[in-house]
Each structure stands twice: as structure tokens, then as C-alpha cells.
Structure 1
Amino acid sequence: MQSLNIQYNPRIDQLRWLAATLVFLFHFHLEYRGLGGTGLSSPWAALIIEGHTGVGLFFTLSGFLFMLIALHQRQIVYADFLRNRILRIMPLYLLIFLVATSIGRDKFQPADLLYLFATNLGLAPTSGTPITGAAWTISLEFLFYLVFPFLARFAMESGIRYLAGWLVLLLFFKAAAFTVNTNSTLMYFSTFVGRFDQFIIGMIAAMVYARHGALLQRVAPLLVPASIALVMWDTALMNRLASFGSVPHSPFWIVWSLIESAGWALLILGWTAFRPRLPAIVERVLTHGGKISFSFYLLHMALLHLLATQVGTVRPFEIGWSDALFMIVVTYAATWALATLSYHIVEEPFLRMRRRYGATAAKTAAQVG
């Protein structure tokens, strides 16, 4: 559903689709290998092997979109902003949390309710099973929502240098944390120290977009392929130096999120400024994929795990790559259908309750008052 606070740009939904699809392919690859299938190993396949990079795209895109809204509105009503964010993420997130606590019913403790605010830490119920494991990102998203109106205000007052200062501070914390934690993968992958710079980079990209939009439109045909090449390079580098799940402690993780997010920020800038239209059917499909991306992201692991445990490997062609492609298409289509249902049943009714939270809303409220 389109934002009430800024002109709709379908390119942003298309990037959401890309992020959700990359994470899906990452988890499909893990399940497929778990069933005995041949895993990918080529650097050219790093976007799938390290497809968790889609999370970095989601975070960078959040910073970009909300900073664009702040620059457009110039003023954000804090209470209304949080109200909209709660309506956006909480209904489906609470449903997932209830599923997680139901699964872990025999081990559940009342204090575990606090994990509603910290799904990315410790032994959160949502982290105890692959069925709900994707929900760890929600706590980081909401932390960003809590502080974003302040960050946006200070950035508009002081410029990009204010946000650049945050990147320096976070890099210092990353370097210091590396010296005292031997599991740098999880520390940098799912915590404030490891991820918050990606939201900041997204905000910086939005300020560049607002200031140099005309230039970006001219260079977009070159910037899009260049940014794709950079993303492919940095995921291949990650796969070689600090692959997720196999290199628990590497200094590369100190700069990993900066490199990852820089590539995604350039793609966001290039793609949102790119004027030529895709074929109409492609535009509609990808835009719909972005619309349902939140449900797709939170539900895909459950469906993949269900199919892996109850159906297993399907070999209609008895040819390795053909069978794998067939399974990807079928599971992706099933996830798409499930996410569409979830969007219309769980998300959309609450999204219709959102309202404007920018300067116009504040002025209207003052006049009514």
C-alpha cells in the first residue's frame, strides 16, 4: 500500500521485491543443501550463497525512504509517525511471535514477553525455530523508527556531515567490539553495532538523491549496472573472506555492513532515478512483489521448512539443475500466494488506518484544535 506522506515511486516496491527474493533464495539454498542437494560454490552465485544481503538492502531502503519523506515534509509528528509504523509491522509481527511462543510453549517463561522488543538478541522465541527465524530483524527496524525523527531533524539542520559522524562512531564501536567477542558473525549480523550504519547510509543516499536528482537521472543508465557489479563483487568478497555460518570471527565483519550497504545505496539511487519503464506486466508483478514483501519475508522460512520436511526433494527431470530450478519455481510461487493472502488478511486492514504524519498533518491538527 502506498505511503500517504510522499509521492509513490514503484521503483521502491521493486527493490523491496528484490530484497525479499534474495533472502528467499538464501534460505532455499540452505534447505536444498540440507536435503542432500548440490550447493553452489561459484563466486558468480554469491548473491544466492550470501543472499542474506537482502536484509542489508531492506535496512538501507528503510533509511532512504524515511529520509526522503522527512525531506519532503520538513517536519514529522512523532506520535503519528510511530502510530503508522506500529500499524505497518505489528499485526503480522505479533502473529509470528504468537506462533513462536506456541511452538515453544513448554519452555516459555513470562519474561520472554520482553523479547517482543529484542527478537535479535539472546534466546528469543522467534529465534528458536526456522519457522519464525526471520523475525529477528523487526527489533532493529523498530529501534530505527524510534530514533529516526530525531536523526532526520538533526541531519536536516547540520547536513550529511552529521550522519557521516554517526558512521565514524559506529565504525569505532565495531572495531572495539571485535576485540571482546569471538562470535563476530552474529554480533555484526543481527545487532545495533553491526547494522545501524546501514540505516544511516540509506539516509545519506536520500539526501544525495534530493540534492542531485537531475544528475542522477542522467547517469542512472550507467549507475545501475555499475552498482549491480559492486553488489556482486562485495557479496563474492564476503563469501571468500567471511562467509555466513562458516567464518565466525573475522575482522572483515568490521567493515562488511559498510561495504554491503554502499553497494545497495548506489543501486537504490540508480534504480529510483532510472526513467525508462519496464514492460507493463513486469512492472505490475514486481510492484506487487514489493507490496507483499513483508509477508513474503516473514513467512517464507516456514513454508520452505514445511516443504523440506514433509515433501523433500522432488526430481521430475532427474537432472540436478533442472530439478532444483523446478523446486525454486514451485516453492516461490507457493510463498507468493501465501504472502498475498497474508497481506490482504493481516496487513491491509491495518494499513488503511494509517494517517499523514508530516508538516501538513501537524498544520491541520493545529487548525482543528
Structure 2
Amino acid sequence: MKPIDTKFLDGTRLLLALWVAVGHFYTYTGGKELISVPLISDILLSAGPAVDGFMIITGFLMMYHYLLKEKKEPPSDKTTIFKFWLKRLVRLYPIYFVAILAAFVLFKTNFQYVHSNYSFFTGKEASFGTTFNSAAIPGMSDLFSHLTFLHGLIPGQNTSLLGPAWSLSLEMQFYLVFPILFLIFFRNEALINKTLLLFTGASFVIGFLAPKLFGSWDSSGILADFGAPSLIVFKLHFFVLGMIMACVALKRASRFHLGMWILLVLPFQGRWTILVTIGIITLMFSDDVKRLVHPRVNSVLYIIKQCLSNKAAKIGADISYSLYLTHMIIIPIVVNAVISYTDLGVIQTAAVSLLAFLVINILVSLILFKVVEETGIKFGRVLIGKIFSKRTNEIPVKREV
């Protein structure tokens, strides 16, 4: 299989992380109560599509690398499956562990800051339904469930400690089932042709029913009230799209399956999710798109891909995970400091706070990437190498007679 150019995903991941971070900054400083900007306010208050974009990218990258390595690491081999799970854990856990502990230790302080900050900007008392909800202060059980990624399975705990962490539980659920889904639906082209359309339809139906059964941000469910879509059933169809895109890109599946996902699932998504999805698909398959559109459109797509693929974008991709996980820890502290140590108007305070927050969050993320994440990745490689080289040596060698 011939690898394709996926560098544009670097800048895309940074933009999605910034969308979530700035969106939360806007929300916790008053949102439209502070200032209402047509279109921009709606985009910032609707950061969910950015998380959907992350899930598409995750599904793509997992399938893409799984397919590229399948000759060296057979997907049906138990060693391959356990190695995949361990790789994902050691890749995500170091930064995650630091973020969860920091969020827990600083929660009471940040709780006070968030509520006083909101009052400063709006003149009103804050009322948050998820993180920093005065009726749901996290305790040791919340810490335990977050450290074990189980919080996404527990209503009331999935967003109790650190808002963005619900999506990490969801991501771990996907990693858990990914090797199994691969063997059931993606093992070879014949199997894909027989089952993938059914799988696409099933994932959409499950995703459509999930909010009704388990609740959503705005409403309770028949069976439970999760609030955040932290169960895999909510978002499986986005992971499936990424998996299909990888199969199409590596000629494992025909464009028919991608087209069917678009026809079956996309019309039922929100407008910003539709735009994010179309954007990722268009950039991924820009070589195919250029045959169908005006040359000027191709030029624009080329420029966008180049901007999302440069060295700055690579650095952005490196820090995007840390930025995504830590921004809600940093926002309350930075905003409160600006309020306390300056004598500016409300709008000026918000502007200075936003600039200071972005600079500090990026610097903290760079430090965490270098000190924690890279160290964790190196340790993970050594650990995985030792574990699986030992297992290989323990396999008895059959002697020829």
C-alpha cells in the first residue's frame, strides 16, 4: 500500500484544539452576555463539531496505520491487538494523568475563580450544568473514575472534574473496540463489500438513538442523563467515517462506501459538523476533487493544505493534545489574574485575558510536550519493546525433523 500525504492533519488538529479552547474561554467569561458577534459567537459556543473532527481524524489515523502495518503486524494476532492497546495507553496517559491531577488539586480554587470571573464580565451569578457546577463538586470517586477512564461511563462524573476529559474516555472506548471492529468489518476487501454498508447504517442508527436513550447537553434521556456524549454509541459513526476514509485512501475500499456515509449520515448532522466533515474529506481527497472543480478552487485548496502542513503546523500538532486537555485548568487562573492586577474595562479585560491565556496555554503545552509527552513516548517504546520481545523469545521454535 502506498502512503498518502496526511500532513494537513497537523494544522487541522491545532485549529480544532484552539476552537475548543477559545470556545470555552468565551463561555466561561460570559459568552453572549459579554459580547455578541454575529456568526462568531455561534461558532464559539458550538465547539462540539471540533470534537467530532478529532474523532474523524482518530478513526482515520488508527485505520491508516493499522493497514500500513498489517503485513508486519497481522491484525488477527493477539500480540498485535495487545500492542495496539498498550501503545495507545502509553501515548495518551502521561499528559492525561498530569492534567487530571492538576484539575483535581486546583478544582476548588478554579471553581471560585470561574464564578467570580463570570460575575465580573456579566454582572450575573454563574450557573454551569457540567464542570464547575455548584451542586456536583468532585470527590475521590471522581478522581478514580477519571484516572481509569471510566468517568465517561458514569452519568454525573463524565464532566465533573475536567470538562474536555469526557472525550478521552470516549476515545479509549474506541481504542478498546477498534481491533475487534477491524476483524469483523475491515479484514479484507471482500468483507468490506459485504458488511461495511450495514455497519455504517447501524452506527448511524445507534448514534441517532443514543441522545434519546442516554440524554444530551440539553435534554435528559429515557434511560439515563449523561449530558456529554461520552459513550461510544454517541459518536461511533464519526470514527467509522475516519476508518472508511483510510480504507479509500489506501485502496482497501471503494469510494462508494464514503459516498454512502455522506448520504446516510451527514444530512442529519449540525451545520458546523457538516462543514468540518466536508472540509476534512475535501482536503484528504483534494487530488480527486481537483478534477471536478475550477482551477482557482484547486489553488485555494493547495494553499490551505500548505498552511496546515508547514513546520508551525507540526509544532501545533505536537502541542494540540496538551492544549486541549489543560486549557480549562488555565483559563480561570489567567482571567482572574488579569482582573485582579489590571484596571481595565470589561471588554479590554476580556481581550487581554484571551491573549494572555493563549500565550500561557501554548507555552505550558510546549513544556508538557517536551517534558512529559516525549518522555512518556520514549518510555512507552522501551516498555513495549521489552514486553513483546520477551513474548517473542518465549514462543517455542519448532525443530525440523
Return closer, same or farther for 1:97/1:302 CA change in 2, 3 Å cut-off: closer
Aligned to 1:57: 53
Aligned to 2:338: 311
Return closer, same or farther for 1:41/1:181 CA change in 2, 3 Å cut-off: farther
Q: Quick one: which of 177, 182, 190 aligns to 2:230? A: 190
Q: Retained in 2: the 8 A contact 1:35–1:312?
A: no
Aligned to 1:345: 371
1:92 aligns with 2:87: no
Return closer, same or farther for 1:138/1:179 CA change in 2, 3 Å cut-off: closer
Return closer, same or farther for 1:104/1:289 CA change in 2, 3 Å cut-off: closer
Q: Distance in 2 between matches of 1:34 and 1:197?
A: 30
SS across alignment from 2:250 = helix
- The 5 Å alignment of 1:247-258 reads none
Aligned to 1:263: 278
Aligned to 2:125: none
Aligned-pair identity (%): 19
- The 5 Å alignment of 1:164-313 reads 164-180=197-213, 183=216, 185=218, 187=227, 189-211=229-251, 237=271, 259=274, 262-263=277-278, 265-267=280-282, 269-270=284-285, 278=306, 283-312=310-339
Q: Quick one: which of 66, 70, 84 aligns to 1:81? A: 84
SS across alignment from 1:26 = helix
Q: Quick one: which of 28, 33, 48 aligns to 2:30? A: 33
1:37 Cα shift?
A: 2.3
Aligned to 1:128: 160
Q: Distance in 1 between matches of 2:327 and 2:28?
A: 12
Q: Distance in 1 between matches of 2:201 and 2:32?
A: 43
Specify the code of the residue in structure 2 equivalent to 1:84: K
1:11 aligns with 2:8: yes
1:109 Cα shift?
A: 4.3
**More off after superposition, 203-212 vs 340-349:** 203-212
Q: Distance in 2 between matches of 1:279 and 1:182?
A: 39
- The 5 Å alignment of 1:320-335 reads 326-335=352-361
Aligned to 1:23: 20
Return closer, same or farther for 1:112/1:349 CA change in 2, 3 Å cut-off: closer
Return closer, same or farther for 1:199/1:142 CA change in 2, 3 Å cut-off: same
Q: Retained in 1: the 8 A contact 2:211–2:234?
A: no
Q: Retained in 2: the 8 A contact 1:163–1:200?
A: no
1:355 Cα shift?
A: 4.1
Q: Distance in 1 between matches of 2:278 and 2:151?
A: 27
SS across alignment from 1:96 = helix
Number of equivalent positions:
320
Q: Distance in 2 between matches of 1:271 and 1:295?
A: 29
1:297 Cα shift?
A: 0.6
1:122 Cα shift?
A: 2.1
Q: Distance in 1 between matches of 2:8 and 2:311?
A: 11
SS across alignment from 1:127 = coil
SS across alignment from 1:61 = helix
Alpha-carbon deviations, 1:135-182, whole Å to 9, x = none? 111111111111112222331321266343233223333444455556
Return closer, same or farther for 1:149/1:265 CA change in 2, 3 Å cut-off: farther
Specify the code of the residue in structure 2 equivalent to 1:82: W
1:110 Cα shift?
A: 5.2
Q: Distance in 1 between matches of 2:240 and 2:307?
A: 33
**More off after superposition, 164-173 vs 96-105:** 96-105
Aligned to 2:192: 159
1:72 Cα shift?
A: 0.9
Larger radius of gyration: 2
SS across alignment from 2:30 = helix
Specify the code of the residue in structure 1 equivalent to 2:284: L
Return closer, same or farther for 1:97/1:272 CA change in 2, 3 Å cut-off: farther
Return closer, same or farther for 1:284/1:314 CA change in 2, 3 Å cut-off: farther
Structure 2: 5+ residue stretches without partners: 109-136, 219-225, 256-261, 289-300, 396-401
Return closer, same or farther for 1:187/1:168 CA change in 2, 3 Å cut-off: farther
Alpha-carbon deviations, 1:197-241, whole Å to 9, x = none? 11111101111212299x9xxxxxxxxxxx9xxx9xx75x46xxx
Alpha-carbon deviations, 1:102-132, whole Å to 9, x = none? 45799634586244222323232x7335xx2
Return closer, same or farther for 1:303/1:110 CA change in 2, 3 Å cut-off: closer
Structure 1: 5+ residue stretches without partners: 1-5, 216-226, 239-256
Taking only aligned residues, the RMSD between alpha carbons, in angstroms, comes to 4.3
Q: Distance in 2 between matches of 1:311 and 1:336?
A: 18
Specify the code of the residue in structure 2 equivalent to 1:343: F
Q: Distance in 2 between matches of 1:324 and 1:183?
A: 30
Q: Retained in 2: the 8 A contact 1:22–1:52?
A: no
Q: Report the TM-score when normalising by structure 2.
A: 0.66
Q: Report the TM-score when normalising by structure 1.
A: 0.71
1:117 aligns with 2:149: yes
